[in-house]
Chain A
């Protein structure tokens, strides 16, 4: 597994302070999303972000990695404008399925931080559980893991790259109108 486009440097030491700050950043980011503060979430991204959710195709091990006519497929493959468009949709007040509001809960853990070749960028793996509660008892959960590039800027950390790996081939949710 993993994404070929993410070029990893050999793990270089990351200071305890940096690792701690990155962990805090991811928890804060999760809360901003839980609270549906999408404009503020957009502020936590770089303008050159690429955000992808690949479909985990169900293939035999020998057929992995595009060895057949099956090609990689993405549920989301957005740059910043695409993410902004999704956020704008949520803000229209015209998305009936979110009124009554959807309740969100994100848990982020198993955070691993590595240095990269670029001094102010960190490669960060994390695992998540995302629960959504709607209506009376419409509870849906998604578990997965993420590969991020976080960039340290003068305003703090920003997400510059994110690949979200879900475990389910068939999406078991009426929509995926949320951010992981």
Chain B
């Protein structure tokens, strides 16, 4: 158990969050254990590693992870640490390889993680038991329609159980994609001096900041092709007249969704959206057939921000997948991958890639605005008095919207329902005794057994 009073840190009734959660190193250490060592975490997409020997590197919390497709085509994930002394066995971010070889003494592992080579083995060891010293696997790796997730917790719920109702929304992205979803290559990566929770809740639910924080960008985006858009994402350009019927924020068990419901405004910020809009309408009948009227007409093509707890955002419309990797309490890395449909014409894919780069790449017109306040919120909490203050996310409390999809909906995207949902979920994860409690399951309540612990005792 922990010594923190989570009720005081996250006051759900008053919608208050104590600012020490963005600063306190002890809370951060607890997050690594309670959240990042227990939740299912996004690793990448299968299209990044199609062939045997294809690999990518990523992080689960602060753990350095190799994700590799083996000879048997199975995708596995391993801690990037030599079992001899702990040096990294891979220093590239991705590529294709037959083995991972440690640069310290030359221990070498195959693409299934087995210890395959030990220099001078016969001369220096008496019957070294190689099976004991394979790369340490992430306990569970599963794919949800191509999206790869890993989980350290041996006794965790399955990925499908963990995703729960959010899968209904993810399906709009994955099942509508002709030929499946495609993430080609590497993500954009930027390191920002702020706490990891701030960019997460900003991306999943903060419709309020868009017109103000991004005011400069919002007055020029979309201007190249079709002139300035007066009503982007249901927010008028002068930040008044917020349309309550144009969008909803939905809070589910564990995860959240924000969506504009009109089936097209996802592409409102594009300078040249025409090829994407044409593709959308061509594809829409088949999406309706597959997923029904509600999803086919109202969600497909909308600006939809799917927040998968803790740190994954799948953003339809802006069309990128984003993951926030924590790097200490006051630092994070943001990874952004453009997502396309595999069978889209190359020119249409190009429009999406151009747009992602232009808006939310490291030099994106909107991307740069958020770093400043994320840093200031985090680092001003260094002050003892400031750290005692509480943030307020009370907007839209008690507002309900009729909604036939899963989850509890609240009207308007200038709303703080998703952000409240995120912090409530954070609190539940921090108070949980095992991976099941994180998603509200009461059984089983066996204590967490992580693969790391097993290795230590083995």
Contacts and interface: CB of A to CB of B under 8 A. Distances in A.
Contacts of A172: 190-191
A39 B68 CA distance: 48
B215 A94 contact: yes
6 contacts: A58-B92, A69-B184, A74-B357, A85-B223, A90-B216, A171-B190
By Cβ-Cβ distance, the 9 closest A-B pairs, closest first, are A175-B368, A174-B371, A63-B95, A176-B363, A94-B215, A71-B185, A94-B216, A95-B216, A171-B190
Interface string A56-81: 01111011000111111111110001
A86 B365 contact: yes
A173 interface: yes
Interface residues of A, number: 41
A171 B362 contact: yes
B230 interface: no
A92 B221 CA distance: 12
A97 B368 CA distance: 9
Contacts of B375: 174
Contacts of A86: 363, 365
Contact of A55 (B188, B213, B220): B188
Given A85-B365, A86-B365, A69 B193 contact: no
Interface string B50-78: 11001000000000000000000000000
A68 B189 contact: no
A93 B217 CA distance: 11
B363 A175 contact: yes
Nearest to A97: B372
A15 B245 CA distance: 68
Given A77-B354, A174-B375, A175-B367, A69 B94 contact: yes
B186 interface: yes
A90 B184 CA distance: 31
Contacts of B54: 68-69
Contacts of B369: 95-97, 175
B224 A82 contact: yes
A169 interface: yes
A113 to B, nearest CB: 28
Per DSSP, chain B at the interface is mixed
A175 to B, nearest CB: 2
B380 interface: no
A70 B186 contact: yes
B236 interface: no
A36 to B, nearest CB: 14
B253 interface: no
Interface in B309-333: 333
Interface string B25-49: 0000000000000000000000111
A1 interface: no
Contacts of A93: 216
A94 B211 CA distance: 11
Contact of B190 (A58, A81, A173): A173
Given A57-B94, A69-B94, 19 more contacts: A55-B186, A57-B93, A58-B92, A59-B92, A59-B95, A63-B96, A69-B50, A69-B51, A74-B357, A76-B363, A77-B357, A92-B216, A96-B213, A97-B369, A171-B188, A172-B190, A174-B371, A174-B372, A176-B368
A21 interface: no
B94 A59 contact: yes
Contacts of A95: 215-217, 369
Given A92-B216, A176-B363, A68 B191 contact: no
A89 B220 contact: yes
A176 B362 contact: yes
B218 to A, nearest CB: 8
A67 B217 CA distance: 37
Contacts of B219: 89, 92, 94
Contacts of B91: 58
Nearest to A177: B368
Given A89-B365, A171-B362, A60 B216 contact: no
B83 interface: no
A177 B361 CA distance: 11
Contacts of B192: 174
Contacts of B48: 69
A58 B217 contact: no
A53 interface: yes
A86 B68 CA distance: 39
Interface in A150-180: 169-177
Contact of B191 (A55, A170, A176): A170
A142 B18 CA distance: 36
B368 A174 contact: yes
Contacts of A101: none
Most buried by A among B50, B51, B358: B358
Interface string B266-294: 00000100000000000000000000000
Nearest to A67: B96
Interface string A85-108: 110111011111100000000000
B191 A171 contact: yes
A171 B333 CA distance: 9
A172 to B, nearest CB: 5
